Structure 1
Amino acid sequence: MILPCMAKDIVTLVKENGEKFEGIKSVISTQRIITFEIDLNIEPKDTIIHELASGTVNTYLVIDSERIPKLDGVDAHYQLLIRKIAA
């Protein structure tokens, strides 16, 4: 179970139209990104950019976006299926 306090990766969402949303707290794993920023409209073909402390920038393509409602004490969140496209 992922909790909001575990969202320590800060990412930028780049919409397909070029619009950017910065400072999004997330949890990044190999194939998924989870964020509790549910006010955003995250869709397939959007891009997620994650800059590491080392200066490396990882870029991910959103393949699928699922908004999960609040359930069993876990806040509503997005679960994004991703594919890494650049490092």
Structure 2
Amino acid sequence: MPFSSLMKDKISILKKSGEVFDDIQASVQTKKTFIHRSDILIETGDLIQRSMSNGTTQTYEVIDPGFHEGLSGIPAGYQIVHKNLGLPEADKAIQSITYNLNGANNRVNNNSVDNSTNIVNNNGDLFESVSALREEVMRLKLSDKETRDALEVVDAIDSQCQSDKPSKVVVGALVNSLPTFASIASIGSLIVSLLG
């Protein structure tokens, strides 16, 4: 009889980091869960959720992951020692999971009050614009001396933008000292506007 036929439960692993792994074949017992997969790192404190046919969900906390390497036809996997969480404990444990989100002002509210603090840093647009300005100077058919001089000005703009308090006036003057091309003027005005 293959070991996979013993894995009759479908579970989800909820990592403390916020990662979720769904539809994992497992065998959930009173104090242990058996999983024949080695591609997921399961750690103490992670949660296991089992959806049952009666519509309820059981939640367990991993006490000891118990990873075992494969041996003689037995695949590598986990013999997890777990603790059954009651409904209040499960709700509290699930709500304490950390979600890592990217992007300005992203958030997750799962039936909870939002007490988060958001810090938005849009310097990415500024640095992309300076990089685009540098590429545009190199793309234009300028003499070697004009290209070198223009790149020195772009370096000065870059230094100004990376400082704690960049001066909009200084950056504007530097942009105006670049060769007069519509593309350079357009990127330069974007940089100045991004400085606020």
TM-score by length of 1: 0.91
4+ residue runs over 2 A deviation: none
Q: What is the rounded CA distance, in whole Å, between the counterparts of 1:77 and 1:4 in structure 2?
A: 12
**CA shift for structure 1 position 35:** 0.3
- Structure with larger Rg: 2
Say whether residues 1:20 and 2:20 are aligned partners.
yes
**CA shift for structure 1 position 86:** 2.7
Q: Does the 8 Å contact 2:48/2:62 carry over to 1?
A: yes
Say whether residues 1:82 and 2:82 are aligned partners.
yes
Deviations along 1:2-40, one digit per CA (max 9) or x if unpaired, are 822211100000001221110000000000000012100
Structure number with greater CO (CA < 8 Å, separation at least 6) is: 1
Aligned to 2:126: none
Describe the SS at the equivalent of 1:59: strand
Q: What is the rounded CA distance, in whole Å, between the counterparts of 2:7 and 2:86 in structure 1?
A: 22
Say whether residues 1:60 and 2:47 are aligned partners.
no
> Which sections of structure 2, spanning at least 5 residues, go unmatched?
88-196
**CA shift for structure 1 position 46:** 0.1
AA in 2 matched with 1:35: I
Q: Does the 8 Å contact 2:37/2:75 carry over to 1?
A: no
Deviations along 1:63-83, one digit per CA (max 9) or x if unpaired, are 001211111321111110000
Aligned to 1:9: 9
Aligned CA-pair RMSD: 1.4
Q: What is the rounded CA distance, in whole Å, between the counterparts of 1:25 and 1:42 in structure 2?
A: 14
Q: What is the rounded CA distance, in whole Å, between the counterparts of 2:70 and 2:19 in structure 1?
A: 27
Structure with a larger share of its residues in strand: 1
Q: How many residues align?
A: 86
TM-score by length of 2: 0.42
Percent of pairs identical after alignment? 29
Describe the SS at the equivalent of 2:5: helix
Aligned to 1:51: 51
Q: What is the rounded CA distance, in whole Å, between the counterparts of 2:40 and 2:15 in structure 1?
A: 10
AA in 2 matched with 1:5: S
Describe the SS at the equivalent of 1:10: strand
